[in-house]
Amino acid sequence: MIRLDHITKVFNQGTADEKVAIDDLSLHIPSGDFVTVIGSNGAGKTTLLNLISGTYFPDNGAITIDGTDVTRIPEHKRAKYIGRVFQDPLIGTAASMSIEENLAMAEKRGQKRGLRWGVTKAKRERYREVLKRLELGLEDRLRDPVGLLSGGQRQTLTLLMVTLSIPKVLLLDEHTAALDPKTAHKVLQLSREMIENYRLTTIMVTHNMQQAIEYGNRMIMLHEGRVRFDVTGERKRNLTVDALVKSFGAVLKDETLLTAAQ
Amino acid sequence: MASILRILPISFEQGLVYSLVAIGIVISFRILAFPDLTVDGSFPLGAAVAAKVIISGYAPIWGIVLAVAAGFCAGYATGFLNTRLKINSLLAGILIMTILYSVNLRIMGRSNIQLLTYHTLFTPMESLKISRFYLVIPFFFIVAYGLKILLDLFLHTDMGMAMRATGDNEQMIRSLGVNTDRMTLLGLGISNAFIALSGALVAQDQGFADVGMGIGTIVAGLAAIIIGETLVRAKTVRAFTLAAIVGSIVYKMIIAIGLRLGLAPTDLKMATGFMVILALGLPVLKKEKEGKLHLRGI
Ligand SMILES: Nc1ncnc2c1ncn2[C@@H]1O[C@H](COP(=O)(O)OP(=O)(O)O)[C@@H](O)[C@H]1O
Ligand SMILES: [Mg+2]
């Protein structure tokens, strides 16, 4: 489903701030895989997702999604394949626009947008039904601007927005990191349900080793822009946080990762 | 007092014509969060085009149509500098505004065209010898309010919502498949089409087009939307466009009253400038979280 061939991404090339964020990275993710990604801060996790989504173009290498070479295809044209939830809950929704408007915009992901009325009665009723299932009381606040919601509510809404138009690929970037533990758990459960129901090819970046082991059928660890560790199936199921820390403690100097391990 | 009452219909009329400028500024500053300074050039551009068409002997309606098209192109040009050539939004507007000064002179062939002896859009209305209050003012009201409603409708379509999201959260709407550059180009085009339309109407209403008539348009328009938003307590799109109309009328009335009370006409732009500074600065001085205008690109 996703194929990265010898991808390199350098920021601020030729300046004192030059930074190789992704370094000759190759990765093949077959359809239906649920990959978790760990790695210390600055390992290149977000950049990897940004390259797949087309937010940035790589300096070298090729990216293929669902058999199409998308290497030079701009982000907005890749959107029809890709659903995304960002780390920052504020990024996934438009604050000044209402809940129903955000949902309607998401439902049109990757499609032509013409002069048809944005939020029809039929749509509104449908949104009310799907919002009910979230049990956040949002079904009664369809016309409220999203800016009035809490971070957790907004992140849940962003996740729901993805399901309104099922993507081929789902990119989750530490999407529960900014939430309180209870909300984080709920959003994570919802993500898992969604991924399983629609058999979404998923890349989930997480800061939490336990989560990375528990979720998905494959786990990769990024370090300095390269895949340092790639484990699937049986071996992944048998992984423990302790074993990971033992093997990679020196690489994963990251405090959050280590505290999550204790 | 009586004399103040007598000037009110005139400022009401002016407020309505200029409300198209304010609506244009709502589109750029409010909807797109793009601080577009093309305004001071696109307003006289509309006037110049309309005047030239009229003195060339064509029907005034063609002047309006061409003015709107020219305004759209001017906004599109500013958008092009910003989105394609990556020039800072403020600078892009200033560049096009400056270029338009020469363009406007070229269109008119001189710095001033008088239209009093020509057949304009208003000649038929004025020849009826009915008070302006019953013809010209309702005409402007229908134009301003009608366009406001059309714009409101547009901004609630799929495309219009994508445009609003472009100003609100560019990253989000791009990840949903919208070409945000195109939305910016289209939005700035529509914004300046409104403004040029206002210029074309003002030129015919006052009976002349002048290359200098655009100076201060942006500041006056900002003053109008700030006043309007305070009065209307605008939160929704419909309220923002309504605020533009209300604010524009109230602004013109304040100015008229100010002039009556002894404000020198030469100090008008300074007074307006201070009004805007006050409105933007006061919330900051009172340590409110956010200033009144949310700008992108600076
Ligand atoms: N837009 C950017 N401009 C410059 N440097 C960047 C940019 N985005 C990321 N980087 C740098 O690239 C490296 C990888 O960043 P990132 O992918 O965000 O790491 P992670 O998500 O794994 O913490 C970091 O050193 C970061 O500073
Ligand atoms: Mg990151």
In a domain, A61, yes or no: yes
In a domain, A242, yes or no: yes
pLDDT at B298: 33
Contact present, B20 and B197 (Cβ < 8 Å): yes
In a domain, A125, yes or no: no
In a domain, A113, yes or no: no
Domain extent, residue B174, equals 8-284
How far away, in angstroms, is A45 Cα from ligand 1 center?
8
Q: What's the maximum distance between 2 C-alpha atoms anywhere in chain B?
A: 59
pLDDT at A261: 47
In a domain, A104, yes or no: no
The pair of three-digit structure tokens given for residue A206, joined into one six-digit string: 């997480």
* Residue with CA at minimum distance from ligand 1 atom 16: A44
In a domain, B296, yes or no: no
In a domain, B155, yes or no: yes
- β B208-210/B112-114 pair status: antiparallel
Span B158-180, pLDDT tens digits = 999 999 999 999 999 999 999 99
Q: What is the DSSP letter of A54?
A: T
φ, ψ at A37 (rounded to 5°): -125, 125
pLDDT average, residue stretch A181-209: 93
Cα–Cα dist A107/A105, whole Å: 5
Band of pLDDT at residue A158, cut at 50, 70 and 90: very high
Task: Centre a 10 Å sphere on the Cβ of residue B102 and count the other Cβ atoms it contains.
Answer: 11
In a domain, B280, yes or no: yes
Residue with tokens 């700008």: B295
In a domain, B1, yes or no: no
Q: A106 and chain B: CB distance < 8 Å anywhere?
A: yes
Contact present, B243 and B234 (Cβ < 8 Å): yes
User: Structure pTM?
Assistant: 0.93
In a domain, B258, yes or no: yes
pLDDT at B133: 74
Secondary structure of A7-36 in the HEC alphabet? EEEEECCCCCCCEEEEEEEEEEECCCCEEE
* Partner-chain contact A76 B174, CB within 8 Å: yes
Domains in chain B: how many in total?
1
The chain-wide mean pLDDT, for chain A, equals: 92
In a domain, A62, yes or no: yes
pLDDT at A256: 54
Q: Which atom of ligand 1 is nearest to the CA of A225?
A: 14
pLDDT at B132: 73
pLDDT average, residue stretch A180-189: 90
Span A106-132, pLDDT tens digits = 999 999 999 999 999 999 999 999 999
- Which chain A residue lies closest to B30 (C-alpha atoms)? A96
Domain with residue B119: its CATH number is 1.10.3470
Domains in chain A: how many in total?
1
User: Does the pLDDT value for residue A44 go beyond 60?
Assistant: yes
Q: Amino acid identity of B89?
A: S
Question: Which residues from B are below 8 Å from A when comparing CB atoms?
Answer: 154, 156-162, 164-165, 168-169, 171-180, 235
In a domain, B292, yes or no: no
User: How far does the CA of residue B33 sit from the closest CA of chain A (Å)?
Assistant: 12
Domain extent, residue A62, equals 2-90+150-261
For residue A64, the cross-strand partners are: A3, A69
pLDDT at A253: 61
* Rg of chain A taking only CA atoms, in angstroms: 19
For residue A84, the cross-strand partners are: A171
Q: Is A177 helix (H, G, I), strand (E, B) or coil?
A: coil
Band of pLDDT at residue A26, cut at 50, 70 and 90: very high
User: How far does the CA of residue B157 sit from the closest CA of chain A (Å)?
Assistant: 4
- Which chain B residue lies closest to A95 (C-alpha atoms)? B168
Cα–Cα dist B169/B192, whole Å: 23
pLDDT in tens, chain B (298 residues): 667 777 888 899 999 999 999 999 999 999 999 999 999 999 999 999 999 999 999 999 999 999 999 999 999 999 999 999 999 999 999 999 999 999 999 999 999 999 999 999 998 888 887 777 788 899 999 999 999 999 999 999 999 999 999 999 999 999 999 999 999 999 999 999 999 999 999 999 999 999 999 999 999 999 999 999 999 988 899 999 999 999 999 999 999 999 999 999 999 999 999 999 988 888 788 766 554 455 443 3
| Continuous H helices in chain A | 45-53, 75-78, 99-107, 121-132, 151-163, 181-198, 209-214, 233-237, 241-248, 255-261
Band of pLDDT at residue A134, cut at 50, 70 and 90: confident
pLDDT average, residue stretch A64-89: 95
Span B74-92, pLDDT tens digits = 999 999 999 999 999 999 9
Q: What is the DSSP letter of A248?
A: H
Q: Amino acid identity of A150?
A: S
Cα–Cα dist B252/A251, whole Å: 67
In a domain, A133, yes or no: no
Contacting residues of A for B169, CB less than 8 Å apart = 90-91, 93-95
- β B208-210/A34-38 pair status: unpaired
Domain with residue A40: its CATH number is 3.40.50.300
* Partner-chain contact B177 A105, CB within 8 Å: no
In a domain, A138, yes or no: no
